[in-house]
Amino acid sequence: MTALLTVLIPTYNRPEQLARTVRFLQRHPAPFPIIIADGSDDEQASRNRHCRDLGNNILYFHAPLEPPEDTWKNYFRRTEKALDQINTPYAAFCADDDLLIPESAIESAAFLQDNPQYVGCHGHYLQFEYTADTIRIPNFEYQGPSIDADEIASRLIQLFSRYEAPFYAVYRTAAMRLLMERCQESVPPLWPEIYHATGAVIAGKIHRSETIYCLRNIGNPPHHRSGSRFRDFGQWIAADLDGFLEHYVRYRATVLEWTAPQADPGAVQRALNMAFITYIGSEFNPSYWIDRCCETVKDAEERDKLRSRLNQNLSRMIARTAPPSIRSAGLDLVRTVLGQTKLSLLRKGASIGLRAAIERTRWTRLRREAIGNSVTDRDSDYYGVDIRTSLLSRFSSEQWNFLTGIEKHD
């Protein structure tokens, strides 16, 4: 049977994690093509090459940094080379430290084959973390709804109303090539994900199925944050609002180029302003934030409409918010005003009870089965499982059985 799907794994200096991820994917009884695009240094790449021995369905290539090429240009060069070698109609990215559920990815490709109006398909994402002797899964998942409105402007509103990046979904291969090309127009490190997500919903609908689709590793810092000036949009805005708004105007103009002539530019701009500015602005003083963002709209009538809608949206969001807590953008603003020393004291005081609460109520442990007395991460894919009933009941037993390697039992 011809494979529908190819999985792309860009990797950089994570040989242990890469090997675990590839072995996990190889547990599926009908192997599909896997392309490993390695940008690691020579020493780590020599270890990564051993992944080729895990199956004849694995294509590996090494494309390290070529000065004056920066890490982002290298990443896009590697992914472009990988995409050029895909022969299947559908493709999905998998991070080198994540666990993509092969059954769910194949089901997503089959969904796209039967539903031509959709450009992407995925399911639910659970967070997890490797530790010395356990895998931890917090009771947290990405479970936003499908983005399935008929109009582009409406899909943009759906995307940012409950934003979750659909980067790791299964896409039509032609669409994935276009999306990665458009990502290169962005300014790293914070914009590529937004450009990709925006381009995806412009290209078509994205379905979210009721399956465990992928486990996202929260134990390793993302590569794109290393060496970057700002960790997230909140920190950027707190430190340099003018710079952020300048890049937002550029992003908005790019989106209007992408949607022409298939959508009304006025409707797209209004939707994008309302949805994206609400999404980002929920962290900040509404009055000041709205005034500054509205300055980016030249037409007075459009500016007044935007101000009115933003006031309504942000007021509703504030009203729905739980009792005040320290959020990421708030921390960034405190860092700017108070400095790192006072902030670290604040964090230390707040975290004493938090760690215990996490261990007691939010974390679920998946304990590895012991095989002999010397099981290591590289030696075993099989895990014993103790999952809270409320989370287990959300998904079929087959899903958990494949994830944990447990024999099916009635």
CA distance 137 to 267: 41
> Cα–Cα distance between 340 and 331 in angstroms, integer?
10
Tokens of 95: 């991070």
Question: Is the distance from CB of 201 to CB of 158 less than 8 angstroms?
Answer: yes
| CA-CA-CA-CA torsion sign (357, 359, 361, 363) | positive
For residues 139 and 392, give the distance between their C-alpha atoms in angstroms, rounded to a whole number.
11
Give residue limits of the domains in the chain.
5-225
pTM of the model: 0.79
Burial of 394 (0-12, 13-18, 19+ CB in 10 A): middle
Which segments within 188-257 are labelled E, that is strand? 205-217
Token output for 110? 């089959």
Q: What is the pLDDT of residue 225?
A: 56
Looking up tokens 């994690």 gives 17
Give pLDDT < 70 ranges for the chain: 1, 132-135, 139, 223-228, 283, 317-395, 397-410
Instruction: Residue 290: name the closest of 316, 318, 310, 319 by CA.
Output: 310
Residue 134: what pLDDT?
62
CATH class of the region 5-225: alpha beta
pLDDT at 399: 67
| d(C-alpha 206, C-alpha 354), whole Å | 36
Supply the pLDDT for residue 60. Answer: 98
Q: For residue 366, what pLDDT is reported?
A: 32
* Segment holding 99, helix H or strand E: strand 99-100
- Nearest CA among 77, 84, 102 for reference residue 23: 102
pLDDT of residue 126: 87
pLDDT, position 324? 38
- pLDDT for the residue 246: 94
Query: What burial class does residue 157 get, using C-beta atoms within 10 Å of its C-beta: 0-12 exposed, 13-18 middle, 19+ buried?
Result: buried
Residues 6+ apart with CB under 8 A from 107: 209, 211
